[in-house]
Structure 1
Amino acid sequence: MEEIRRLADRFDLIEPVGGGSMGTVWRARDDNLERTVAVKELLLPHGQGEQKADEAKNRALREARIAARLVHPHAITVFGVIDEQDRPWIIMEYLPSISLADKLREGPMEVDDVIRLAIQLCSALAAAHRAGIVHRDIKPGNVLLGEDDTVKITDFGISRAMGDVQLTATGEISGTPAFLAPEVARGEDATSASDVFSLGATLYTALEGGSPYGTAENPIALLYRASSGEITPPVKSDILTPLLTRLLDVRPDSRPTMTETERELRALAAGEPTTLIAEEPPPKARKGMLIGVLAGFLVLAAVAAAVVVFLARGEDPPPDAAPPPASQSQAVTPPPSSPEPQPPTSSAAPPSSSPPPATSSSAPPPAQTPGQALAAYYTLIPGNLQAGFATLSDNFKRTRNQSFERYSGYWKEYRSVSVSNVSESGNTVTATLTYVLASGGTKTGRETFELVQQDGRYLIDSQRAG
């Protein structure tokens, strides 16, 4: 049996309970306070010189200083740091637990259980963001599940206070590729918005059983996928789907804040309608908030005047439907005529307008009729192609041999789509669609859709001209 080591003549290291690239976590005994604690032994770089070792120590000290700012029932508390045996040791709260990563080895979780877990995580992360702390490595391995169903986020080891000088080497990306926000994977600075994406990726994994980026043989391949922001649409997220797609929005300013996310999760848990209210937006979004609000009122006024026009900004239209024949064209090259073309990518604003910035990724209200479902489908384009693709039935995708890559590639050629003159007959919906191309031309035509109900929501099952 390994001999117990003693630190600072106070902490007895009993057994290792976890570890990773940064070091080993020990269950330990604090003799002074007569309590069990967790002690994180941080590894220093070997063979890279004294300067690298000193930089690592400085990072550890900064880690402890930042993490100690946060005291929250759903975050592991940092008590202090000591320097012994030529390396730093972080003294933390001990929680008898397993990680979410270990839990998921048994299989994916149910939606209701993920919602309960996510509420606790969000409450801690929202408090961290208010304190100016960005976690930077939210993933299942850093989510601890206690024996009494308590959930706590841990390891702010690569987090940083916004505004602090970064001590990591130039070009070094901290975080796990499978859960990185696209902008961080591309080398941009981590923010609270990138934490939101990583939370979304963690919840996605809990529900779907794998990362939204899929699997890859090496971290570099995953990093490449992450940098593109292309994810596999969720299929098991049920009532969490609208929120999950907003958390995973490729555009940081279009993601909700942690506070907004927590509010919506609590509404879902209570069975209440969920409406994402713009409160405490990320720093980059705050500058444009007033403009976005005014644009929202203008859009509402336009809807009232049009009466029968459903503004559709795009929940990816049926990927295999070709645009209608051009009735107006401004020297525009017709879209591809492959057997399974995908409808245009864009916002539901009228052809001459661009999508309102404040609502570009907002989910539409629950659809009550097939016609409303079709209009809602187009209201997500181009900001929510993942949600649009998820609105297509499996039969639609199979018969058209439609992949998400083809679907998103098609929609890049369009700027917006508007829906009008909608008529219904059972689950058959016919509507006039006006497509605005990225090059500025327009195409208008009548299209007919068949919708089917699945798990309480309408899915587009087929599409044809006329």
Structure 2
Amino acid sequence: MGMVWRGEDTSLDRVIAVKELILPFGHGGEEKAAEAKNRAMREARIAARLQHPHAITVFNVVEHEDRPWLIMEYLPSKSLSAVLAEDGPLPVDEVIRIGIQLTSALQAAHEAGIVHRDVKPGNVLIGEDGTVKVTDFGISRASGDATYTATGEISGTPAFLAPEVARGVDATAASDVFSLGATLYTAIEGAPPFGTADNQIALLYRVSSGEIVPPVKAGKLKPLLLRLLEVKPEDRPEMGDVLTELRMLAAFDGDEPPEVPAATVPATRRIEEGHMPAPVPPPVVEKRRRGALIAVAVGAVVVVIAVVAGILFALRQKDDTAGQQTPTPTPPPSSQVSSPAPEQPPVSSSETPPPTTTSPSTSPSAPAEQTPAQAIEDYFKLLPGNLEAGYATLSDAFKQKHSPTFQRYADFWNRFSAVSAAVTASGPNSASARLTYTEKGRTFTENHTYTLIQQNGKWLINAQT
């Protein structure tokens, strides 16, 4: 479709990249030339909509010799495909680092209504300083754009197409997710997930079936990789969720991945497994449900104990004051006996309940009188300025799973200059939050749901999904 030249912008005295459009000749050349021009203009419009530190910027389009030329940002770099050809497969941690940068650009594209449609190692540039940028939006499509692909024509590179695209279905954001997975797979394994073939028709057939060669070098990245390569588009995670998990993997030093919800464990068809889906363990939500039932049962027992204790207290007081002229003490009103929050330790009848206090937002954890949503709000008000207090608001189980040491916790949060949370209640001991992070002047958002527990009258964050 074109060649890219290094050039000089004499007006602004800077090095630029100039994409020369190669127009087709021969039978039907005029029609195809017009289509190629439309594609070039569409690439320019789409790139102009996407301003991102990990996407090549298009500065301008100029007409020369009756064809458009794209004036673009120049990045001293090699493509990922060239790096793999020279150095072979990359280590898992290096692929995760590349994946984070690539995924952040694709997430921004999807949020802008843009589907790249040709994510592959050849379109991933790796700069001399390690910066990763996605390029070549030549066949991308933005919402509202006309379709310039001829009927029956498939745009993209067969080895990195999603199965539904190979079957002739229009590419979607989920198709980009699959192509991202195929790109990361290739970087680790040294070959695409469907292998290679000189016969492109045979390769398309293999892609359409979704029969991937299972990865053997992916290590902790393997579970996520398999979810990206799910046959059905609806079974793949969204790009924002992929970015979140890649960041978690980057902060994880072990060979095994951090635990992910069992409900998302992939059932991708695999050649060695006879196309049988992988067994899926019971969803984590079922464990929470059982825990909730146990908590309710414990709460009911505590209520019964409290009521019986109140009655015994009244009878004992009556016996002690028999024959005296002082009035008999009145038992505590029933409104003072209530079911404690789930997983709250039972309170003895001989203990005096702690007075109600209002904890400032800088407190390490919120008192029991606060709701889980308020506790989550207070937690994020601590970050990233008061990491010690924030770390104290996590349960031991949460720390063991996500941040076994305070240093790891600090390493993660020190990357951000600010974080804000829009919190809503989602259950008796849970809350959902839309988080906005600021990192090096750039913002991005994530959505999480937090489950909390009560410990010594305080809310602690126990789980995150």
Match of 2:268 among 364, 375, 384: 384
How many Å apart are 1:27 and its aligned residue?
Answer: 0.2
Q: Which residue of 2 aligns with 1:162?
A: 143
Q: Which residue of 2 aligns with 1:77?
A: 57
Q: Deviations over 1:40-70 (max 9, x none)?
A: 0011121224233222211211111011111
How many Å apart are 1:224 and its aligned residue?
Answer: 1.3
- TM-score, normalising length from structure 1? 0.57
Distance 1:266 1:74 in 2: 16
Are the counterparts in 1 of residues 211 and 269 from structure 2 also a CA contact under 8 Å? no
Q: Deviations over 1:262-290 (max 9, x none)?
A: 0000001111875668xxxxxxxxxxxxx
Distance 1:70 1:407 in 2: 42
Q: Which residue of 1 aligns with 2:15?
A: 36
Q: Which residue of 2 aligns with 1:145?
A: 126
How many Å apart are 1:38 and its aligned residue?
Answer: 0.3
Question: What code does the residue aligned with 2:213 have?
Answer: T
Q: Which residue of 2 aligns with 1:98?
A: 78
Question: What code does the residue aligned with 1:384 have?
Answer: T
Match of 2:208 among 227, 232, 243: 227
Question: What code does the residue aligned with 1:73 have?
Answer: P
Q: Which has the larger radius of gyration?
A: 2
Question: What code does the residue aligned with 1:34 have?
Answer: D
Could you say which structure has the higher strand fraction? 1
Q: Which residue of 1 aligns with 2:92?
A: 111
Q: Which residue of 2 aligns with 1:67?
A: 47
How many Å apart are 1:190 and its aligned residue?
Answer: 0.6
Structure 2 SS opposite 1:407: coil
| Change in CA separation of 1:250 and 1:80 when aligned onto 2, cut-off 3 Å | same
How many Å apart are 1:418 and its aligned residue?
Answer: 8.9
Are the counterparts in 1 of residues 231 and 269 from structure 2 also a CA contact under 8 Å? no
Distance 1:417 1:30 in 2: 57
Distance 1:228 1:109 in 2: 27
What pairs up with 1:126-137 in 2 under 5 angstroms?
A: 126-137=107-118
Q: Tell me how large the CA RMSD over aligned residues is.
A: 2.1
Distance 2:101 2:280 in 1: 39
Could you say which structure has the higher helix fraction? 2
Are the counterparts in 2 of residues 74 and 123 from structure 1 also a CA contact under 8 Å? yes
- TM-score, normalising length from structure 2? 0.57
Are the counterparts in 2 of residues 256 and 276 from structure 1 also a CA contact under 8 Å? no
Q: Which residue of 2 aligns with 1:174?
A: 155
What pairs up with 1:11-30 in 2 under 5 angstroms?
A: 22-30=1-9
Question: What code does the residue aligned with 2:101 have?
Answer: Q
Are the counterparts in 2 of residues 264 and 274 from structure 1 also a CA contact under 8 Å? no
Distance 2:245 2:279 in 1: 28
Structure 2 SS opposite 1:89: strand
Distance 2:82 2:35 in 1: 32
User: Is 1:407–2:244 an aligned residue pair?
Assistant: no
Structure 1 SS opposite 2:184: helix
What pairs up with 1:40-59 in 2 under 5 angstroms?
A: 40-47=19-26, 48-59=28-39
Structure 2 SS opposite 1:46: coil
Are the counterparts in 2 of residues 41 and 88 from structure 1 also a CA contact under 8 Å? yes
Distance 1:110 1:37 in 2: 32
Distance 2:248 2:280 in 1: 31
Structure 1 SS opposite 2:49: coil
User: Is 1:264–2:245 an aligned residue pair?
Assistant: yes
Name the structure, 1 or 2, with higher relative contact order (CA <8 Å, separation 6+).
1
| Change in CA separation of 1:44 and 1:417 when aligned onto 2, cut-off 3 Å | closer
Distance 1:148 1:416 in 2: 42
What pairs up with 1:42-441 in 2 under 5 angstroms?
A: 42-47=21-26, 48-105=28-85, 106-271=87-252, 274=258, 359=263, 362-363=264-265, 383-386=267-270, 404=272, 407-408=274-275, 411=276
| Change in CA separation of 1:169 and 1:236 when aligned onto 2, cut-off 3 Å | same
Distance 2:280 2:33 in 1: 57
Distance 2:182 2:176 in 1: 10
| Change in CA separation of 1:119 and 1:251 when aligned onto 2, cut-off 3 Å | same
Structure 1: state its 5+ residue gaps. 1-21, 278-312, 314-358, 364-379, 387-402, 420-466
Q: Which residue of 2 aligns with 1:443?
A: none
Structure 1 SS opposite 2:247: helix
Are the counterparts in 2 of residues 61 and 81 from structure 1 also a CA contact under 8 Å? yes
Distance 1:213 1:121 in 2: 21
Structure 1 SS opposite 2:75: coil
Structure 2: state its 5+ residue gaps. 283-465
Are the counterparts in 2 of residues 260 and 276 from structure 1 also a CA contact under 8 Å? no
Question: What code does the residue aligned with 1:225 have?
Answer: R
Q: Deviations over 1:341-369 (max 9, x none)?
A: xxxxxxxxxxxxxxxxxx4xx12xxxxxx
| Change in CA separation of 1:153 and 1:276 when aligned onto 2, cut-off 3 Å | farther
Distance 1:253 1:203 in 2: 20
Are the counterparts in 1 of residues 212 and 269 from structure 2 also a CA contact under 8 Å? no
Are the counterparts in 2 of residues 99 and 141 from structure 1 also a CA contact under 8 Å? yes
